[in-house]
């Protein structure tokens, strides 16, 4: 087993353990716990339960359904009732084993059960390892919107076992690269040495081929960036953490209005291209930055335009964007500019029209 620890310096600090075999650290990070409730999904539990359970004391598995529909208050109630029936107490813990759906739902259940029990996040997708499992955001969906009911509940540890990435379906792995591209664009390539941009540039083939030697570096770089942002603004109050939503305003609007067959990471990739074009049209950056926002997702095999986008109306997407959680009544985007990546309110309509056209929306 070869893992490294990436520290997250929040009020109660914890580590993201990255590398093959990290699931085997469950017994270490949960040492002394009387009981552990493992929340997972059937296919994931079949594959990884033995690794996570080895050395753990008394534990019980609580399965939930697949997909965004399972990320619901009904599932949270079901889980909490299961915890109570089994006798999970305040000093016990929950372990979330799976991708973002499991992490968000089990994390939220842990945040409210007994007014909060400790949770260990054990993410098994690239997207969850580089982003969702770190930083304590937990939430479920309601019919009115995604992630509208949730809580900040930092985990006591994150076990990012990179060997789980080998079995991900290709599209799911590539989707995770959409979030990786986001981190690369958030990093300043001029000052960053040996960081995520260098890794993606020099090892593109190995990243796409999921080379086990590269995956640890890739996840650790992204986890380190996320940890820094979360430590600076744990509750998304100062605007620092909101920069992690780079590319997400359009992505969420695409997901809310129908998905268009895109995974979350693919939608983020298109959102990054949109953000680059929008900020370029606002004359906040030069053409080199606009090109970079297009070239990086493309180099990772991600889409740069909305499939069938000519049938969409920009106005419908804008209506959804106005309801975005970080919008204060108008339109708010996370965009690069002269002072780095910041929140920008209400860009001019002509710049928006240009950006929509650049990602193929509206024909």
Contacts with ligand GLY, residue ranges (CB under 6 A) = 131, 135, 137, 241, 244
Q: Is the Cβ of residue 244 or residue 281 nearer to ligand GLY in the bound state? A: 244
Neighbours of 32 (CB within 10 A): 7
Q: Is the Cβ of residue 82 or residue 336 nearer to ligand GLY in the bound state? A: 336
Q: Tell me which of 53, 78, 182, 252 is the catalytic residue.
A: 252
Nearest CA to 302 among 280, 278, 271? 271
Nearest CA to 345 among 293, 258, 282? 282
Q: Specify whether 237 is catalytic.
A: no
Q: Tell me which of 33, 35, 153, 179 is the catalytic residue.
A: 179
Task: Give Cβ neighbours of residue 220 (< 8 Å, ≥ 6 apart).
Answer: 4, 6, 18, 19
Q: Is the Cβ of residue 135 or residue 224 nearer to ligand GLY in the bound state? A: 135
Least Å from the CB of residue 21 to ligand GLY: 26
Whether residue 262 contacts residue 347, with contact meaning beta carbons closer than 8 Å, is answered with no
Q: Which residue carries 């986890």 as its tokens?
A: 223
Q: Is the Cβ of residue 134 or residue 278 nearer to ligand GLY in the bound state? A: 134
Q: Specify whether 245 is catalytic.
A: yes
Least Å from the CB of residue 51 to ligand GLY: 26
| Beta-strand pair 332-337/340-345 | antiparallel
Q: Specify whether 283 is catalytic.
A: no
Least Å from the CB of residue 193 to ligand GLY: 25
Least Å from the CB of residue 157 to ligand GLY: 17
Q: Specify whether 264 is catalytic.
A: yes
Compute the distance between CA of residue 194 and CA of residue 184 in angstroms, rounded to an integer. 12
Return the residue nearest ligand GLY (CB atom): 244
Q: Specify whether 226 is catalytic.
A: yes
Q: Specify whether 248 is catalytic.
A: yes
Strand-pair partners of 324: none
Q: Specify whether 147 is catalytic.
A: no
**How far from 166 is each of 98, 200, 217, 295, CA to CA, in Å?**
14, 18, 15, 26
**Known catalytic residues?**
115, 137, 179, 226, 236, 241, 245, 248, 252, 264
């Amino acid at each position: 087993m070869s893992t490294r620890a990436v520290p997250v310096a929040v009020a109660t600090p914890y580590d993201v353990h990255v590398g093959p075999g990290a699931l085997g650290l469950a017994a270490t990070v949960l040492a002394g716990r009387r009981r552990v409730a493992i929340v997972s999904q059937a296919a994931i539990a079949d594959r990884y339960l033995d690794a996570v359970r080895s050395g753990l004391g008394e534990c019980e598995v609580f399965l939930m359904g697949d997909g965004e529909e399972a990320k619901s208050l009904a599932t949270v109630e079901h889980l909490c009732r299961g915890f109570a029936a089994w006798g999970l107490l305040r000093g016990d813990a929950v372990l979330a084993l799976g991708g973002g759906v499991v992490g968000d739902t089990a994390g939220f259940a842990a945040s409210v059960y007994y007014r909060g029990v400790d949770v260990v996040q054990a993410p098994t997708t690239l997207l969850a390892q580089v982003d969702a499992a770190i930083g304590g955001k937990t939430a479920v969906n309601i019919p009115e919107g995604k992630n509208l009911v949730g809580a900040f509940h930092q985990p006591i540890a994150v076990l990012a076992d990179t060997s789980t990435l080998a079995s991900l379906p290709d599209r799911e792995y590539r989707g995770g690269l959409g979030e990786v591209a986001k981190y690369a664009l958030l990093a300043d390539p001029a000052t960053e040495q040996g960081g995520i941009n260098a890794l993606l540039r020099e090892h593109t083939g190995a990243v796409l081929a999921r080379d086990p030697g590269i995956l640890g570096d890739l996840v650790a770089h992204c986890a380190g960036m996320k940890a820094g942002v979360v430590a600076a603004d744990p509750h998304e109050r100062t605007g620092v953490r909101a920069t992690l939503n780079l590319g997400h305003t359009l992505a969420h609007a695409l997901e809310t209005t129908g998905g268009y067959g895109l995974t979350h990471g693919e939608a983020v990739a298109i959102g990054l291209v949109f953000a680059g074009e929008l900020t370029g049209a606002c004359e906040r950056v030069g053409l080199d930055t606009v090109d970079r926002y297009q070239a990086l997702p493309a180099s990772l095999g991600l889409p740069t335009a909305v499939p069938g986008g000519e049938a969409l109306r920009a106005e419908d997407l804008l209506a959804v964007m106005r309801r975005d959680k970080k919008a204060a009544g108008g339109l708010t985007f996370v965009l690069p500019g002269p002072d780095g990546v910041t929140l920008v309110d209400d860009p001019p309509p002509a710049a928006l029209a240009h950006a929509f056209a650049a990602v193929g929306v509206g024909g």
